[in-house]
């Protein structure tokens, strides 16, 4: 293992994006406004770092619905960094291209792909992504993939923080990763 933690450290990522109660307004697109990242040391089986990156939207505004869901306001995200800067921060400071990474489902991975393509900024992650929702579903033999809050209930854990807040959701998803690791059902790294 090198200093970036390749093979031992896992970046657990959860994003929040602009959203609306009804139809998306004309000329606006869903954009990442918060990136939550929890670093899990797979060898030590513990969460070792917690990060929050606020991202300033360029082609949309934070709706009242979005604020009610996430707690994020337009004023708060206006103080964030650009999406390109956030991707660079993930790459340089969090070694995102070299570390394994996971998210709850594929939404986060797809949202990064869409947004990076739309503004032609380099994708910050490597190829080794684990869909933690799929891993949890398989480990428990469930027919339907549960949401993160329901998975915490199934695992006998409590939700910490605010649901639909990227930093808190990444922390909770990391707890589920550790739960699966304890059970011996977290997928082995490639």
Residue 117 is part of a domain; what is its CATH number?
3.30.420.10
What is the pLDDT averaged over residues 101-123? Answer: 97
Expressed as residue numbers, the domain containing 70 is 9-183
Q: How many domains does the chain have?
A: 1
Confirm whether 189 is domain-assigned. Answer: no
Residue 2 within a domain: no
46-63 per-residue burial string, b: 16 or more CB within 10 A, e: under 16: ebeeebebbbbbeebebb
What are the tens digits of pLDDT across the range 18-63? 999 999 999 999 999 999 999 999 999 999 999 999 999 999 999 9
Over residues 79-102, the mean pLDDT reads 97
Q: Is residue 125 part of a domain?
A: yes
Q: What is the mean pLDDT of the chain?
A: 96
Model pTM score: 0.95
Joined tokens for residue 97: 């291209």
Residue 188's pLDDT is 85
Among residues of the chain, what percentage have pLDDT more than 70? 97
- Integer CA distances (angstroms), 2 to 5, 6, 8, 31, 169, in order: 6, 6, 9, 33, 28
Give residue-wise pLDDT tens across range 60-74: 999 999 999 999 999
7 band by pLDDT with thresholds 50, 70 and 90: confident
The pair of three-digit structure tokens given for residue 18, joined into one six-digit string: 């602009």
- DSSP assignment of 17-65: E---SSSPPTT----EEEEEEEEEETTTTEEEEEEEEEB--SS----HH
For residue 69, tell me if it sits in a domain. Answer: yes
For the chain, percent of residues with pLDDT exceeding 90: 94
Q: What is the pLDDT of residues 131-188, one digit of tens each?
A: 999 999 999 999 999 999 999 999 999 999 999 999 999 999 999 999 999 999 999 8
Give a yes or no: residue 190 inside a domain: no
For the chain, the DSSP string reads --TT-TTTEEEEEEEEE---SSSPPTT----EEEEEEEEEETTTTEEEEEEEEEB--SS----HHHHHHH---HHHHHTSB-HHHHHHHHHHHS-TTTSEEEESSSHHHHHHHHHHHHHT----S-S-EEEHHHHHHHHHT-SSPPPHHHHHHHTT-PPPS-TT-HHHHHHHHHHHHHHHHHHT-SPPP-
188 domain residue, yes or no: no
Query: Taking Cα atoms as reference points, which of 57, 55, 54, 53 lies closest to residue 24?
Result: 57
**pLDDT recorded at residue 2:** 55
């Amino acid at each position: 293992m090198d200093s970036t933690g390749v093979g031992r450290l896992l970046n657990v990522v959860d994003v929040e994006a602009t959203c609306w109660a009804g139809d998306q307004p004309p000329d606006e697109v869903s954009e990442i406004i918060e990136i939550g990242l929890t670093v899990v040391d797979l060898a030590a089986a513990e969460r070792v770092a917690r990060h929050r990156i606020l991202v300033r939207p360029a082609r949309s505004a934070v709706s009242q619905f979005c604020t009610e869901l996430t707690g994020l306001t337009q004023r708060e995200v206006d103080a964030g960094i650009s999406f390109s800067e956030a991707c660079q921060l993930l790459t340089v400071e969090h070694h995102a291209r070299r570390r394994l990474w996971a998210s709850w489902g594929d939404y986060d991975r797809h949202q990064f792909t869409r947004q990076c393509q739309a503004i032609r900024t380099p994708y910050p992650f490597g190829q080794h992504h684990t869909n933690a929702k799929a891993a949890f579903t398989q480990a428990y033999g469930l027919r339907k993939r549960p949401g993160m809050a329901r998975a915490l209930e199934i695992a006998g854990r409590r939700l910490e923080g605010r649901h639909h807040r990227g930093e808190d959701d990444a922390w909770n998803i990391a707890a589920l990763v550790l739960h699966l690791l304890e059970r011996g059902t977290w997928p082995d790294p490639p």
